[in-house]
């Protein structure tokens, strides 16, 4: 069995890309998982993934429109996803997110 770091850079990149596509597919299969829930638990959400794609493109000297990146991540226009799948954040979710952000800010 190989250690991940033993793979050549091209193979590592392909594996990372495959894992990212799998993550996107998993999120798409679990639309009931709200972005706020992801933010509370993992400090990232689908919008963060979109921003990271834009940033990665910029690092390579490419331009990627944020809305185009969101459409790739959400597999539909964000406005459509939001209308069909995004619920209203509960007071408990908002409080949990605020608590996470406060804890994060205190650690910095």
Domain extent listing, the chain: 31-106
Give the other-Cβ count within 10 Å of 89's Cβ.
17
Chain centroid offset of residue 78 CA? 13
- What values do phi and psi take at 71, rounded to 5? -65, -35
What is d(CA 19, CA 26) in angstroms, rounded to the nearest whole number?
10
Ranges of residues in the chain whose predicted pLDDT is under 50 = none
Query: What pLDDT is recorded for position 18?
Result: 97
Token pair for residue 58? 């910029």
Q: What is the pLDDT of residues 62-81, one digit of tens each?
A: 999 999 999 999 999 999 99
- What CATH class is the domain 31-106? mainly alpha
Query: What pLDDT is recorded for position 65?
Result: 97
Query: What pLDDT is recorded for position 1?
Result: 76
Residues 66 and 51: beta-carbon distance below 8 Å: yes
Q: Which residue has the tokens 């990372």?
A: 16
Query: What pLDDT is recorded for position 77?
Result: 97
């Amino acid at each position: 069995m190989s250690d991940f770091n033993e793979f050549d850079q091209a193979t590592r990149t392909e594996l990372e890309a495959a894992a990212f596509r799998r993550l996107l597919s998993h999120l798409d299969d679990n639309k009931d998982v709200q972005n706020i829930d992801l933010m509370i638990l993992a400090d990232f959400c689908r919008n963060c993934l979109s921003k990271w794609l834009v940033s990665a493109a910029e690092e390579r000297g490419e331009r990627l429109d944020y809305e185009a990146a969101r459409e790739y991540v959400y597999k539909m226009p964000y406005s459509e996803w939001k209308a069909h799948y995004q619920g209203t954040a509960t007071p408990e979710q908002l409080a949990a997110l605020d608590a996470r952000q406060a804890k994060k800010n205190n650690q910095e």
